[in-house]
Amino acid sequence: MNYRHSFHAGNSADVVKHSLLIALVRALQQKQGALTLIDTHAGCGLYDLGGEEAQRTGESTQGVLQAFADSNPLLNDYRAAVQAVNAADEPRFYPGSPRILAQLLRPHDFLILNEKHPEDASALRGAMRGTPAAVHERDAYEFWLALLPTRTPRGVVVVDPPYEQLDERARITATLAAAHRKWAHGVTVIWYPLKDRATHSRWKEQLRALGIPKMLGVEHWLYDADQPGIYNGAGLFFVNPPYAFTQALPPLLEALRAALAPEGHSGEITAHWLRD
């Protein structure tokens, strides 16, 4: 599955991912200590929802536009993050994870971004101009390990690949195992698309076999049953999520499910611990 950010900007997966990233960082910032935020597959940083690539899929109509039409106050932080890069009420531009993370920085926090694709890396540098973010152009998995442990006692690594390579999940699994050995207490977020339940169940078993004590899985299935050959949803794995984040998660997940359910489907979004 090829999941280049620019084709899917502002879709339902982005709404869930960015809502949960905001909630996660805010929970970590309840403590005053500095955070290092790292994005291994940062993309372009900012996307034009009226551009050719986003218009080709039109996925923002079932994502950010539905979230903006919803009135649940639990989505206010997400809507404010999108509104921050737009002059009008209806979003024309969509902030990727780098721009959202930059909005959350306190003066003593750090943001380090990586994007291997040369054109996207150039766009990323432009999108992050005026922010304190450092931008790298390296292999994402080498970069992930090289920056651990983080320069501050606490940090978050966001892993959000396009899943262009057939071995993407295997590389994530192997790198996560090595990263956990170097940085056992660190917080890691891994995003993934959902194509079918069987494939995803096999990957969960491989991750479970790593023996990482605290790994939370969030799965957002758009449809009530798998729709063959299409994008069925997305999810995230959280390694070492803070207590304040997990305790606040159930009502936020329900708000996201209700806002994003396709017409004629109730949708499903669940959170569960991966434990033996």
Q: Which of the residues are catalytic? A: 160
Q: Which two tokens stand for residue 124?
A: 């990323």
d(CA 96, CA 162): 13
Q: Report H helices in 3-109.
A: 5-8, 12-28, 52-57, 64-69, 76-83, 97-104
Structural contact between residues 165 and 117, judged by C-beta atoms closer than 8 angstroms: no
d(CA 70, CA 68): 5
Which of 145, 142, 125, 141 minimizes the C-alpha distance to 133? 125
- The residues near 141 (Cβ < 8 Å, ≥ 6 apart) are 40, 171, 172, 175
